[in-house]
Structure 1
Amino acid sequence: MERVNPATGEALDPIEADDEAAVEAALATADEAFESWRDVPLAEREELLASAADVLRENEAEYAELMTAEMGKPLAAARSEVQKCAWVCDYYAEHAGEHLQDERVGAEPGVDSFVAYEPLGPILAVMPWNFPFWQVFRFAAPHLTSGNVGLLKHASNVPGCAEAIEEVFREAGYPEGVFQTLLVGSDAVDGIVEDDRLKAVTLTGSEYAGRAVAETAGAELKKTVLELGGSDPFVVLDDADVAAAAATGARARTINSGQSCIAAKRFIVHEDVSDEFVEAFVAEMEALDVGDPHEDVDLGPQARADLMEDLHEQVERSVEAGATVELGGEPLDRDGFFYPPTVLTDVPRDAAVAEEEVFGPVAPIFEVADETEAIALANDTDLGLGGSVWTEDRERGTRLAREIESGAVFVNELTKSDPRLPFGGIGDSGYGRELGKMGIHEFVNRKTVWVQDAEMPEDEPAGE
């Protein structure tokens, strides 16, 4: 697999891909490993997960450097990502037993009826490059601990991260085959999904990839969980703390150099505070440092040249449609794939940055007359992953949060994932949930068990 350092445009050492024989061997190993792994006591699986958290913390610098080299994440952010992976391991090491304990359901006197949560088997995780460790660990931490085994098909530009993640579990003491990496291209996914030994699939990626995997899995009657991106609204109402909204909004738009599914993608601002917000927001975006991700910067490069080109093409089409560039708007003239923080105003409702997911540090601002128009515009998308509402009235914020059609809404905070809370979307953003109690229940058999004493049938009445 070819790799390119996005900060320099220079090639990294390639990593050898797996052939069909290696994939077949991995599936056979996973199938065999599941038979014994499912019977390992839950307390032992929790202890192994806690050990994985220790391995992550011990090797934080190494894993962060690997992310920075392969996909350009600023080094400080990469270290934070490793820490978050350790956190999700800690969470399920502490709470998996609580989430997976039998749930008693009253039925009849003398009957013991309950729901048991049992693992399904080998699960394929198709994961993206933008959070190359976190996306994998939010799958692996709950679902390995519930007794499943994992097969990772990672994005082709982060194969080093994929290998490192497998090594984390190996160093933590997991048995052979409980977690394996498959270094294969997207063309191999259908065949893996169709294999009878595989029981379920989770994918984080594009809508196109999600539809393709769901179609194949559906034909095989296999469970899927999909997270397919977002076009998250960031709504600033007339009673908002504008300075706080602008400061947080700049972070919300540029986390991971703007390459986040739950980044703020559309800024919807009440006309009474629009001028004030634009001035403050542009100042916040302009103050962000862009540069070598090994340095103390806020933004690194875009992960690939084609991604930067696609982003700039969206900006150009939007400007042609009538948008005004307040800041940025052109790739930086330097080696690597750098795009600056960019702010667009006067954005037509049918412009590219309004109708398409924008995966980079580009912020379109839309002015609205009232909260009714704000909610209508917030919901004017097929993507429903996250959202943010800014108001000093908590009751108003709660009411409008309920009206936004998405998997999550944060009031006076940026949208974020948290091991303790369910994460996922609706509409074209996908279905199913990761994280929290709901997340660990996605890939288990919710088995109903009914137990009562055996009773002899009553004698039938004697005949005449």
Structure 2
Amino acid sequence: MEFKSINPYNGEEVGSYTALSEDELNEKLNRSQIAFKSWKNVSITERCQLIKKAGQVLRDNVEEYAKMITLEMGKPISESRGEVNKCALVCDYYADNAKSFLADEIIETDASLSFVKHDPIGTVLAIMPWNFPFWQVFRYAAPTLIAGNTGLLKHAPNVFGSAKLIEEVFTKAGVPKDVFQNLIVHHDQTENIISHDAVRAVTLTGSERAGSAVAEIAGKHIKKTLLELGGNNAFIVWEDADIDSAVKTAITARMLNCGQSCIAAKRFILLEAIYDEFVTKFTKAVRDLTSGDPLDETTKVGPLARKDLADELNKQVKKSIKLGAELLLGGNQKDCYHEPTILGNVTPGMPAFDEETFGPVAAMIKAKDIEHAFALSEQSKYGLGVTVCTKNIEKAIEYADKVSDGAYFINELVKSDPRLPFGGTKKSGYGRELSKDGILEFVNRKTVYVKK
């Protein structure tokens, strides 16, 4: 089977990749198991040094890697550079902190000595999406490899060029052969991979449907899973908010990566008193965004990654309008490009409210008061994150327990940070990436008890 990576901006072929045969795949799985036996015995100091070097390789080749991201999935080139540099940052973070995160945890009991030690578990399979083709991988790979595990990457087929470069990053950094391997395979090989003795856990970032399918397979084989799935984040603006500042934050929260982000703000829940002002200023700001070739330094909005994604988004827009939403801006689509679109007076029952809109569509929703705003926010099957804009910080903090999501940001867009745990609730998945939590997801927390 041949996989082709197609530039969504101009339809040109970026690369062609041949799928592994069944024998080739099994060979890679076996080699990963063998590599684990030696990699786990490499000192934590040396593992940290190698991941630190990987961060430097990313910085040294940022232009090459950024261009591949942009060519394969259409992200504006300035954002692609930012993504590569963020990957270097996560490498540095774990290289600097892994020793303390993995240190023995002394616990006082009746024993002469009792503690928890942190051992690697084996090979961890990563099934990754196309929207942040480097970042999604490195936020898993850096802590997983430093912990002493080996890694297998099953990336999205439209970004296999990025996947190949990621494998090369670790090779250039001096990470031993087979510790991190890229698998060019179709998704129908997923169960064969998960069932292999080498694979001890699976991490998936992707759709709700993909997460459910992988969790079912992993559960059948008693393998641990971490799922980071869809989102329909609320961006709540109170009456006392600095509207200009809120709009500036909102533009980035919605339009970054052309809106193709699980943690993007999608539902803008605005108190009635400031609804018109916010919508007017937000609409003007969106009009000022430059669309075009994502390789152009001035482009802020490029195409969606594939035409089927743009088609689906347009269906959601049209259906929402049919159900009573007001088209305030945009609404048109051509091939992979979907105009930045704003829908007014969105209510529950419309796709723009109920579903994840994976693209540059902003839903404007009126709330009667703060309590109503949070009730609307909670009216979602997803639970990744919520933003609240207000000058009353103390009051906003008091409302944190009204939010069931995995993140609550005040006067800032929801974003991932290597220093903070990241993950969702409800249909957005389970488990945590990043911070200390992220490295402990794939270790054996072993209890050691000594009686003298």
Q: Which residue in the other structure is 1:459 paired with?
A: none
Q: Which residue in the other structure is 1:380 paired with?
A: 379
Q: Which residue in the other structure is 2:347 paired with?
A: 348
CA distance in 2, matches of 1:447, 1:5: 47
CA distance in 1, matches of 2:358, 2:194: 28
Which structure 1 residue ranges, 5 or more long, are not aligned? 454-464
Deviation digits for residues 158-183 of structure 1, max 9, x if unmatched? 00000000000000001111000001
Q: Which one of 59, 62, 66 corresponds to residue 61 of structure 2?
A: 59
SS of 2:300's equivalent? coil
CA distance in 2, matches of 1:396, 1:9: 50
Matched, 1:451 2:443: no
Q: Which residue in the other structure is 2:401 paired with?
A: 402
Q: Which residue in the other structure is 1:391 paired with?
A: 390
Q: Is the contact made by 1:321 and 1:348 (CA closer than 8 Å) also made in structure 2? A: no
Q: Give the aligned residue type for 2:198.
A: R
Q: Which residue in the other structure is 1:135 paired with?
A: 136
Q: Give the aligned residue type for 2:339.
A: P
Q: Which residue in the other structure is 1:367 paired with?
A: 366
CA distance in 1, matches of 2:10, 2:152: 32
Q: Which residue in the other structure is 2:312 paired with?
A: 310
Q: Which residue in the other structure is 1:34 paired with?
A: 36
Q: Give the aligned residue type for 1:407.
A: G
**1:293-308 to 2 correspondences below 5 Å:** 293-295=294-296, 296-308=298-310
Q: CA deviation at 1:80?
A: 0.5
Q: Give the aligned residue type for 1:350.
A: G
Which structure 2 residue ranges, 5 or more long, are not aligned? none
Q: CA deviation at 1:76?
A: 0.7
Q: Which residue in the other structure is 2:233 paired with?
A: 232
Q: Which residue in the other structure is 1:269 paired with?
A: 270
Q: Is the contact made by 2:5 and 2:161 (CA closer than 8 Å) also made in structure 1? A: no
SS of 1:78's equivalent? helix
Q: CA deviation at 1:416?
A: 0.3
Superposition RMSD on alpha carbons, in Å?
0.9
Q: Is the contact made by 1:401 and 1:411 (CA closer than 8 Å) also made in structure 2? A: no
CA distance in 2, matches of 1:219, 1:187: 16
Deviation digits for residues 79-101 of structure 1, max 9, x if unmatched? 11000000000000000001000
Q: Give the aligned residue type for 2:294.
A: P
CA distance in 1, matches of 2:16, 2:36: 32
**Deviant stretches of 4+, over 3 Å:** none
Deviation digits for residues 291-323 of structure 1, max 9, x if unmatched? 100112111110001001111110000011111
- Higher gyration radius (CA): 1
Q: CA deviation at 1:142?
A: 0.3
Alignment coverage as a number of residue pairs: 449
- Structure with higher strand content: 2
CA distance in 1, matches of 2:15, 2:115: 54
Deviation digits for residues 308-358 of structure 1, max 9, x if unmatched? 1111110000011111111111115xxx52112111002131101111100
CA distance in 1, matches of 2:184, 2:51: 24
Q: Which residue in the other structure is 1:358 paired with?
A: 357
CA distance in 2, matches of 1:328, 1:278: 14
Q: Is the contact made by 1:225 and 1:433 (CA closer than 8 Å) also made in structure 2? A: yes
Q: Give the aligned residue type for 1:151.
A: L
Q: Give the aligned residue type for 2:316.
A: Q
Matched, 1:420 2:422: no
Q: Which residue in the other structure is 1:179 paired with?
A: 180
Q: CA deviation at 1:190?
A: 1.2
Q: CA deviation at 1:208?
A: 0.5
Deviation digits for residues 167-225 of structure 1, max 9, x if unmatched? 00000001111000001111111111111221000000000000010011111111100
CA distance in 2, matches of 1:449, 1:301: 54
Q: Give the aligned residue type for 1:361.
A: P
Q: Which one of 323, 326, 329 corresponds to residue 324 of structure 1?
A: 326
Q: Is the contact made by 1:401 and 1:410 (CA closer than 8 Å) also made in structure 2? A: no
**1:50-199 to 2 correspondences below 5 Å:** 50-108=52-110, 111-199=112-200
SS of 1:224's equivalent? strand
Deviation digits for residues 52-89 of structure 1, max 9, x if unmatched? 01100110000001001111111111011000000000
Per the normalisation by structure 1, the TM-score is 0.96
CA distance in 1, matches of 2:376, 2:344: 15
Q: Give the aligned residue type for 2:188.
A: D
SS of 1:193's equivalent? helix
Q: Is the contact made by 2:9 and 2:302 (CA closer than 8 Å) also made in structure 1? A: yes
Deviation digits for residues 21-46 of structure 1, max 9, x if unmatched? 11101100000000010011000000
CA distance in 2, matches of 1:400, 1:294: 42
Matched, 1:339 2:341: no
Q: Which one of 42, 45, 53 corresponds to residue 43 of structure 1?
A: 45
